[in-house]
């Protein structure tokens, strides 16, 4: 992974203590499209399973993650697809 993905991973691990964290850079699938950057790291799919999501509805979970990744979303990250669940959720 690259610098941006590593920074996202560090933040999410520290703040959410996930039992699962997958970060996939899909930037190559968006080459030539709006927001695509030379060298990638502009489009990500992030899957997180964390007890921090227990009792939160989908929108609250998304807002929590967007808030944690605010610096990346204001800068190099153009698109972020989130899959968020609490432990035991399908």
Q: Which CATH number does the domain housing residue 17 bear?
A: 3.30.300.90
- pTM (2 decimals)? 0.86
State how beta strands 43-49 and 20-25 pair.
antiparallel
Query: Model confidence over 7-31: pLDDT tens digits?
Result: 999 999 999 999 999 999 988 665 6
How many angstroms separate the first and last alpha carbons of the chain?
Answer: 27
Residue 4 and residue 10: Cα distance in Å, rounded? Answer: 10
Query: What are the distances in angstroms from CA 73 to CA 51, 55, 59, 62?
Result: 24, 25, 17, 13
pLDDT category, 79, cuts 50, 70, 90?
confident
Q: Is residue 90 part of a domain?
A: no
Query: Model confidence over 31-78: pLDDT tens digits?
Result: 656 555 566 678 899 999 999 999 999 999 999 999 999 999 998 888
Q: Is residue 37 part of a domain?
A: yes
pLDDT value at residue 15? 98
Q: Is residue 31 part of a domain?
A: yes
Question: How many domains is the chain partitioned into structurally?
Answer: 1
Q: Is residue 50 part of a domain?
A: yes
49, 87 contact by CB (below 8 A): yes
Which residues constitute the domain of residue 65?
A: 3-85
């Amino acid at each position: 992974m690259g610098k941006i993905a590593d920074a996202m991973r560090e933040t999410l691990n520290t703040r959410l203590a996930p039992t699962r964290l997958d970060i996939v850079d899909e930037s190559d699938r968006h080459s030539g499209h709006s927001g695509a950057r030379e060298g990638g790291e502009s489009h990500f799919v992030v899957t997180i399973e964390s007890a921090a999501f227990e009792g939160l509805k989908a929108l609250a979970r998304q807002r929590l993650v967007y808030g944690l990744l605010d610096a990346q979303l204001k800068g190099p990250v153009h698109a972020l697809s989130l899959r968020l669940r609490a432990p035991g959720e399908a």
